[in-house]
Amino acid sequence: MHKVTISLDAKAFFTLETYAKKRGVAPECYASQIVHKSLAAHTIDYEDMAKGYESMADINLELTGGKTE
């Protein structure tokens, strides 16, 4: 596991601490969860996802007889 040190202003730390307490975890753990969830949103390959949707649309049209090649 790697460690990263960040600096937060008082307002941001208070918010982090408040939400961490509500979830029953340490602020460090909650910050780690936030980073993991944020990174997941940035690692999705939207181009591949769009191609997959197009393929599924073609299959659905073929199944309904709406597309002929």
- Cα–Cα separations (whole angstroms), residue 40 to 15, 34, 36, 37, 47: 22, 10, 6, 5, 15
Please identify which residue in the block is written with the tokens 């073609």: 58
In this prediction, residue 52 carries a pLDDT of 87
In this prediction, residue 62 carries a pLDDT of 84
> Mean pLDDT throughout 4-15?
95
In this prediction, residue 14 carries a pLDDT of 97
**Quick one: which of 49, 51, 52 has its CA closest to 41?**
49
- Residue 52 to residue 56: CA distance in whole angstroms: 6
| Model pLDDT for residues 16-54, shown as the tens digit of each residue | 999 999 999 999 999 999 998 888 776 777 788 888 888
